[in-house]
Amino acid sequence: MNIAFFSTKAYDKESFDRYRSTFDLTYFEVPLQEHTLKLAEGFEAICVFVNDHLTASIINQLADGGLKIIALRCAGFNNVDLDAARNRGVKVVRVPAYSPEAVAEHALALILALNRKTHKAYNRVREGNFSLERLMGFNLHGKTIGVIGTGLIGAAFARTMQALGCRLLAYDVVENPDLPLAEYVKMEELLGQSDVISLHCPLTEATKYLIREETIAAMKDGVMLINTSRGGLIHTKDVIEGLKTGKIGYLGIDVYEQEEHLFFRDWSEQIIQDDLIGRLMSFPNVLITAHQAFLTQEALQQIASVTIQNLQEYAEGRHLKNQLN
């Protein structure tokens, strides 16, 4: 079976090349969009990532060309029109879990860097500045951590923070029975009591702009907000206002609402046209990484293994246990 990979980076090729004896793999660096659609012609299967947008129009055109299966090499699926795929008989599979610890540990890295200002200290020392002025942090031990979304990643994050001696509050529409160390509370209580709030929920119609003017107003003054899930969970303009007033004391994000136009590419020699991310980067208490929370050796190996397993199940006519539609 021929498989077309979109939004491919060097680390993707390294992870998937070991399976060339199983499938015929073709890599494209560009994302899958209307203007790159012709690259997918003649392929029975495509493998896509978070910023490949499979709208109803794109899916219909791909199905007309013989596409049978879409393999997401990620857990999130908000970028795929599942109804359109189902109507055209196109299977959609994903990787539901790939080293939840990788994302949980990155969330902790953002917290520690923002708190202890290690990124600023690193730059200072390299310039010969050994002053400790304006590097004051706080002890995480004893602080209240709010975990919104307690699936595999949220649970891994909660266990990590519990090991640091933090009090854990949790919110989810479905409570995780394997997370006895966290106290499940209403959203209002979590927002009002948490010193640090970390988002670990999928992007759906119900969670879009979960963090907005009203929910920010309910938070403690100076709260630390962390997002390693999906950019659309946060209303960026409202968060900027929260930073300006000091309601949000720290912001660490690995995802961004408009990241599809920026992330995974080098813009260092160009003028970035996105005024919102430019404003975010101007704050001294904001730390942004470019969707790298998943980027560990273990996670990449798991992503490749499960993706190929999904495609093998399809090729052999077996039950697709990771099918979405």
pLDDT value at residue 325: 79
Please state, for a pLDDT cut of 90, what percent of the chain lies above it. 94
pLDDT value at residue 128: 98
What's the mean pLDDT in 107-134?
97
Q: Which CATH architecture fits 2-98+297-315?
A: 3-Layer(aba) Sandwich (3.40)
Task: Give the pLDDT band (50/70/90) at residue 116.
Answer: very high
Residues 239-287: pLDDT tens digits? 999 999 999 999 999 999 999 889 999 999 999 999 999 999 999 999 9
pLDDT value at residue 180: 86
2-98+297-315 and 100-288 in the same fold: yes
Q: Answer whether 144's CB lies under 8 Å from 167's CB.
A: yes
Neighbours of 231 (CB within 10 A): 19
Following DSSP, what letter does each residue of 232-260 receive, concatenated? Answer: GGB-HHHHHHHHHHTSEEEEEES--TTGG
**Is 115 a residue whose pLDDT tops 90?**
yes
pLDDT value at residue 15: 95
Query: Would you kindly state where each structural domain of the chain is located, as residue ranges?
Result: 2-98+297-315, 100-288
| Average model confidence (pLDDT) across the chain | 96
What's the mean pLDDT in 106-110?
98
Position 211, amino acid: I
pLDDT value at residue 98: 84
Report the distance separating Cα 191 and Cα 155, nearest Å: 18
Question: 277 or 97: which carries more pLDDT confidence?
Answer: 277
Q: CA distances (Å), 143 to each of 90, 190, 221, 264, in order?
A: 48, 13, 14, 34
Least confident window among 145-149, 178-182, 308-312 = 178-182
**Is 213 a residue whose pLDDT tops 90?**
yes
Report the distance separating Cα 233 and Cα 212, nearest Å: 9
The residues assigned a catalytic role are: 230, 259
Residues 71-93: pLDDT tens digits? 999 988 889 999 999 999 999 99
- Looking at the domain that runs over 100-288, which CATH code has it been given? 3.40.50.720
